[in-house]
């Protein structure tokens, strides 16, 4: 029936359904209590297939990584409902088990079946990064975890609501397993509100157009995404290209971990084979298979940005992940640092794709979210947990220099503003600035990383860092140079110290007036630095992006003729 729907109706329905998901995003962003959702937009909403769980529509403001993983989350609920034989209008499932639904335990998933005229039509889902869900480390990024139980409270798919009636015992369990119950309750209510809005909007849409027409539109959109992806692949050369990059370590043993990919194009098919990647690790840089597949989708979507955001895009693509690798970890392997690993996956896919179609990719971005948690107790005894992630430089491209101080390419999230963090927590930013000389050189240079220096204002606090790129710099492409590596220091009574594992550390004791300092990586360069315009080099020097010494050493003295 999908072929029978006329193009105008299809376009209207596509816009209406995208608007439903976008409104659900906006509802949660306005209502959430914690700044990781409210300010950074670490959340997502979408519509999912009633039988397969495949992504039908996703909001444009949420995290792209959730497009793929949430289909696995919905499938986990479908399987759970099939096993129990019970699914009713008004049911809502909740869980955070990352091995079933992807990403990590901080991401709380709510899945709600949507019924129309007594028949299951699709699923609505909401996912948001809760501020704290128990575990050994406030904020849940524990670089020394050796299983998921040291990372957070693990919740399998359970019914939060049965036929529209909330299950208070489930809420009680959730709130008992967080250091910040008020924040958790606020985020939960925000997600419930988003799902309620999605139901109302779908009622309006199906009431206006009918279930058959809307279903036909969803099928047509999937088919068209498939056809568009095949057309894009057919326009690229056939061949096999390989790339390898490394994680610093797993947080337990100081050994580099390779992430490998072979990219193969044959006609209108693409294979991404990760054979050669390091095995499952003791520490929490593992990811579950759903996360690996979703990451491949995110990378492909970056390379082909005009494609729609639904599962039809992935039909011509095969993702091969070797069993036993850190990209296919089984429960209860720790997965808390999934962000670092998926960023490296995207880097190697970009590097391999640059050998096939350099005009379509950018050089490596800074490649770490630098999950930094600072926690303690206020003067009145109330606990506080400042968890945030931080920006860095993006890679240069065939068209332009990389973005300075951007957010990670796994997301459309924003870095929480300094003013919000200072208002919410007893900290003061001594510095929030661009990092000079951090960009990878190239015909188009990478973007600059950033410098953050954060002072503690309470009597005592404890800091935890889960980062990467402290040993392996973001790579350039097409002859571009790498960006600067990640640097972290923390202040003690006898001066500044550095973590033994470069980018990961737990239990950093801080006193009032002491600080931590992050210097984040710059992006890789694009093209040979010898081809950079001297006036562009002079402009970077004038703006303070590049020191005169580094400019002359990297690009030669010609830039000096363009100074005023």
What does the pLDDT look like over 287-321, one tens digit per residue?
999 999 989 988 998 899 888 878 888 899 999 99
Q: Which residues contact 481 (CB under 8 A, 6 or more apart)?
A: 440, 441, 442, 524, 525, 529, 554
Measured CA to CA, the distance from residue 108 to residue 44 in angstroms comes to: 11
Query: Between the CA atoms of 226, 227, 233 and 235, what dihedral angle is there, to the nearest 10 degrees?
Result: -170
37 in helix, strand or coil?
helix
Nearest to 519 by CA among 440, 443, 431: 431
212 Cα distance to chain centroid: 35
Kindly state the tokens that stand for 13.
């329905």
Helix (H, G, I), strand (E, B) or coil at 495: strand
pLDDT at 373 over 90: yes
Model confidence at 557, pLDDT cuts 50, 70, 90, reads very high
pLDDT 10s digits, 432-459: 999 999 999 999 999 999 999 999 999 9
Predicted local confidence at residue 2, as pLDDT = 46
Q: Is 238's pLDDT higher than 90?
A: yes
Q: What is the mean pLDDT of residues 14-37?
A: 93
Q: Is the pLDDT of residue 496 over 60?
A: yes
520 vs 394: CA distance, rounded Å: 11
Q: In the structure encoding, which two tokens stand for residue 46, read together?
A: 């979408």
Among the ranges given (82-86, 375-379, 505-509), the one the predictor scored with the smallest mean pLDDT: 82-86
pLDDT of 410 higher than 90:
no
Dig out the tokens for 348 from the structure: 């190697």
pLDDT per residue as tens digits for the range 49-60: 999 998 898 877
Query: What pTM was estimated for this model as a whole?
Result: 0.93
> CA-to-CA distance for 339 and 73, rounded, in angstroms?
18
375 pLDDT higher than 90: yes
- The dihedrals phi and psi of 457, each to the nearest 5 degrees, come to -105, -15
Radius of gyration of the chain from its Cα atoms, rounded to whole angstroms: 24
What is the per-residue pLDDT for 334?
Answer: 96
Query: What gap in Å lies between CA 436 and CA 460, rounded to an integer?
Result: 32
ω into residue 332 within 30 of 0, thus cis?
Answer: yes
State yes or no: pLDDT of 499 exceeds 80: yes
pLDDT value at 261 more than 80? yes
**Distance of alpha carbon 101 from alpha carbon 339, whole angstroms:** 15
Asked if residue 331 has pLDDT above 80, the reply is: yes
Question: Which has the minimum average pLDDT: 125-129, 346-350, 417-421, 489-493?
Answer: 417-421
Coil, strand or helix: which one is 286? coil
Which one has a higher pLDDT value, 61 or 371? 371
Which of these ranges, 71-80, 218-227, 414-423, 487-496, has the smallest mean pLDDT? 414-423
CB 315, CB 362: distance < 8 Å: no
Tell me the pLDDT band of 82, cut-offs 50, 70 and 90: confident
Task: For residues 481 and 545, give the distance between their C-alpha atoms in angstroms, rounded to a whole number.
Answer: 16
d(CA 71, CA 76) in angstroms, rounded, equals 9
Is 50 exceeded by the pLDDT of residue 1?
A: no
> Are 488 and 516 spatial neighbours (Cβ–Cβ below 8 Å)?
yes
Residue whose pair of structure tokens reads 């860095």 in the numeric block: 392
Q: Give the Cα separation of 9 and 3 in Å (integer).
A: 12
Tokens 């979507």 sit at which residue? 301
273, 291, 348 from 321: Cα distances, Å = 6, 11, 14
Q: How confident is the model at residue 256 (pLDDT cuts 50, 70, 90)?
A: very high
pLDDT for the residue numbered 165: 96
Under the banding of pLDDT at 50, 70 and 90, the label for residue 3 is low
- On the question of pLDDT at 411 being above 70, the answer is no
Report DSSP state, residue 34. Answer: S
- CB-hemisphere CA count at 13 Å for 481? 21
Mean pLDDT of the 182-191 span = 96
pLDDT at residue 26 greater than cutoff 90: yes
């Amino acid at each position: 029936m999908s072929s029978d729907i006329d193009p105008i109706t299809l376009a209207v329905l596509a816009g209406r359904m995208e608007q439903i998901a976008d409104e659900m995003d906006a509802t949660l962003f306005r209502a959430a209590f914690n700044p990781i959702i409210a300010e950074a937009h670490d959340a997502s909403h979408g519509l999912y297939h009633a039988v397969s769980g495949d992504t039908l529509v996703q909001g444009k403001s949420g995290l792209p990584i959730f497009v793929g993983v949430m289909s696995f989350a919905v499938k986990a609920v479908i399987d759970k409902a099939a096993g129990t034989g019970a699914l009713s209008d008004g049911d809502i499932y909740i869980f955070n088990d990352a091995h079933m639904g992807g990403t990590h335990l901080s991401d709380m998933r709510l899945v709600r079946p949507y019924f129309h005229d007594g028949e299951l039509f699709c699923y609505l889902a909401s996912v948001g990064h809760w501020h704290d869900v128990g575990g050994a480390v406030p904020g849940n990024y524990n670089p020394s975890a050796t299983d998921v139980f040291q990372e957070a409270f693990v919740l399998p798919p359970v019914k939060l609501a049965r036929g529209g009636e909330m299950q208070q015992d489930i809420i009680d369990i959730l709130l008992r397993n967080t250091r910040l119950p008020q924040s958790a309750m606020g985020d939960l209510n925000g997600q419930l509100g988003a799902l309620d809005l999605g139901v109302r909007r779908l009622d309006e849409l199906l009431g206006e157009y009918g279930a058959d027409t809307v279903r036909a539109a969803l099928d047509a959109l999937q088919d068209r995404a498939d056809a568009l992806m095949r057309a894009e692949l057919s326009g690229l050369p056939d061949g096999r290209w390989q790339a390898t990059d490394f994680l610093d370590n797993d947080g337990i043993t100081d050994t580099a971990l390779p992430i490998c990919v072979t990219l193969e194009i044959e006609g209108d098919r693409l294979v991404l084979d990760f054979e050669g990647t390091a095995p499952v690790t003791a520490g929490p840089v593992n990811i579950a298979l759903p996360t690996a597949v979703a990451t491949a989708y995110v990378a492909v979507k970056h390379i082909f940005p005009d494609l729609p955001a639904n599962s039809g895009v992935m039909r011509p693509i095969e993702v091969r992940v070797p069993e036993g690798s850190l990209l296919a970890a089984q429960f209860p392997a720790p997965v808390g640092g999934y962000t670092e690993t998926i960023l490296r996956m995207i880097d190697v896919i970009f590097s391999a794709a640059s050998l096939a179609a350099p005009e379509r990719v950018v050089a490596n971005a800074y490649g770490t979210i630098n999950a930094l948690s600072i926690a303690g107790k206020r003067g009145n005894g109330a606990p506080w947990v400042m968890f945030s992630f931080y920006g860095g430089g993006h890679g240069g491209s065939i068209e332009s220099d990389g973005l300075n101080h951007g957010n990670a390419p796994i997301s459309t999230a924003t870095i929480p503003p300094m003013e919000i963090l200072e208002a919410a927590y007893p900290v003061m930013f001594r510095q929030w600035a661009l990092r000079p000389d951090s960009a990878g050189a190239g015909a188009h240079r990478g973007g600059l990383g950033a410098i953050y220096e954060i002072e503690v204002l309470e009597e005592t606090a404890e800091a935890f860092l889960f980062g990467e790129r402290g040993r392996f710099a973001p790579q350039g492409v097409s002859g571009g140079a790498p960006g600067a590596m990640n640097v972290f220091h923390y202040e003690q009574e006898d001066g500044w110290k550095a973590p033994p594992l470069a980018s990961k550390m737990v239990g950093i004791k801080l006193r009032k007036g002491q600080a931590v300092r992050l210097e984040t990586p710059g992006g890789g360069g694009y093209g040979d630095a010898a081809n950079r315009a001297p006036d562009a080099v002079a402009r970077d020097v004038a703006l303070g992006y590049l020191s005169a010494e580094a400019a002359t050493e990297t690009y030669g003295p010609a830039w000096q003729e363009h100074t005023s």
